[in-house]
Amino acid sequence: MMNLRAEIESEVGAAAASIAPLSGGCVGQVYRVRLVDGRVLAAKVDESAHPVLAVEGAMLRALAELSELPVPAVQFCSDRLLLMDFLPGGSIFPPGAQTHAAELLAALHSITAPAFGLERDTLIGGLRQPNSWTDSWLDFFREQRLLYMAAEGARAGRLPHSVRERVAAFCDRLDDWLAEPERPSLIHGDVWTTNVLAVSDRITGFIDPAIYFAHPEIELAFTTLFGTFGEPFFKRYQELRPIPPGFFEERRDIYNLYPLLVHVRLFGGSYVNSVDRTLRRFGF
């Protein structure tokens, strides 16, 4: 078992005055660490058989390098230990904070790349997220998001084979409802409530990313799945980056099939029913 106090002092050059557990996080245990020199860090520890915290550290560093999105500065990362600045705030978003979030994400989505994906695979909810560069968004979304995660859910015994076949049939018809975006956009990839922090009307941080270059609508859709943001967010986002008609009526449900399949793979249960309802809605 890791000697967390010793590791922290070795990597950041100061002893820990206190270490307190925090809630949240699909990967490892999370702690609030106050150092004797006054600094406050968040520490993640992954002592599983296949630790992956270095991937999270790389994603946070990429966001800090490529964008102005507020993310915790990484002080040290390895597969088993991630040390980053502790960001203040909670996950309650009054209208002013939602407006600020819209401005931050619109700016993030303006960052582009020649293709969809990323130079490395990443993680979502602790699960591998493949990101092989692909010229077509529809091909990427079909192969590396829906079909891949449906196969993972079936392999884990949580998605019935019949539902997986319906997902595959639906994927054959994606271009009936979806179109290629003008360009790929950098997305955070996992914007749900507890991955966003705010103090009053200002967003103080985005944590636990699952980054890649995508159609920004997949990010916008996910913010509606569990009620992260609402009307103030979308009003401001539309002013900055207009959303074509049909998103709220059809496309957001299609894009939310991916996080639903992630939840099927992780938890099974009622999320299978949610996938079933979406497929039925579109005739599959």
DSSP β-bridge partners for residue 203: 198
Q: Nearest CA to 145 among 193, 189, 181? A: 189
Q: Nearest CA to 73 among 104, 40, 36? A: 40
Instruction: Name the strand (E) or helix (H) holding 186.
Output: strand 185-187
d(CA 254, CA 275): 10
Tell me which residue has tokens 């709220």.
248
d(CA 190, CA 282): 25
d(CA 116, CA 63): 16
176 is catalytic: no
Which of 46, 190, 208, 253 is an active site residue? 190
- Residue 203 main-chain phi, psi, to 5 deg: -75, 130
d(CA 218, CA 255): 5
Residues labelled catalytic: 190
